[in-house]
Structure 1
Amino acid sequence: MVALVTLVAYGLAGIAVATLLGRTGRQGPLRFARLGLHACLWPLFLPVLLPGAASTSPSTEGARIETAETTLHDALQRLGRELGDPLSLETHRVRVLGTTLRAAAQRLAELETVLSLPAHDVNALVRELAALEAHADSKPVADILRERLAHLSRLEALRTQARADLERALARSGELATRLTLLRYEGATAHAATRARELTDTIDELCRTLEEVRAA
């Protein structure tokens, strides 16, 4: 009976945490996968909801994102003026990219906050596991600790991938801005407008990548 009550309480707490996190998360095809992850591993994500625990993207990340968005937007606007074409859809894509980059930086900051908690000190948990393995009667607890370490390993992989995706997106946005500038100086023609639209298709792919929750 006690085990059943504990299981029900854990499940209800997981649903509550997943619901709260879902309100601030981005919508998308992986939304339910994120909700399931939050519900099952809610103790790991609870600190994000506590007052003062939710972190924002570091100022350096925010500045880099702002610079990348502004540079890409300006390059697109200058090309549009040369072409006599506002390139409205492409400009909207740049704004979406900026929003997505900020959301990705926020997710990365949350993962770093969760993994920096003393309770998630992998080295300490490994030492605790080694001590448990020295006693045969501690096997059930040791097995649970191994599962916990596996969860932390998964979170670490998610953080690594989130960082790599963010860096890739920032680098690609800079490269796109340079290519748009090159198009402007090569000659503002109808071909340049078509090429600009083709280049900004890359932004959609970047946004999809940043919205994914996956491990390396």
Structure 2
Amino acid sequence: ELVGKLEAPRVVWVMVPAGAATQSTVDELGELLEPGDVVVDGGNSRWTDDEKHSEELAAKGIGFVDAGVSGGVWGLQNGYALMVGGDAEHIAKVQPIFDALKPEGDAGFVHAGKVGAGHFSKMVHNGIEYAMMQAYAEGWELLQAVDSVTDVREVFRSWQEGTVIRSWLLDLAVNALDEDEHLERLRGFAQDSGEGRWTVEAAIDNAVPLPAITAS
């Protein structure tokens, strides 16, 4: 109903779970949109699905852009880092939206390449994120295990400035320790979004060793 009210050429941004939900949404939009319109998949779809969706929509004259989005709940205040893939002409139609969503300054946005490149880049980003979180967790556990270190939280806090391992993930870890010093409320489980597995599978397909990311 909303699509019919928008002026052409229209840009429709989709953010639904990867897989069947995205496919059904693309199918439906293919029947509602017209040549010259553009669909942006801003969810965490697999890059190989992007190629399929692009071909399906291109047959109807509809453009497709895949957008990997990072920033979480803090993106509203800080801006969202955007990694996009697709034809330059389609991205140009969406660029005003990208400019409004990205952080201020020159960083935080990249046209990573052809269709699939945006989600592939975001997938690798997430693989790196998981490995970094695993390293911080292992370091925290080792610090806590020895008698000589009496304040693990303050050790982590001291790393926030002047060290080569400072990062936003470290800042978030310190915030978590401030709320729950011994992380007693933390469950050792995270829902599988698929991106970690896809990263490892892509590494195998491309003969690239990823020992740290695979271990996480």
TM-score, normalised to structure 1's length?
A: 0.32
Larger Cα-atom Rg:
1
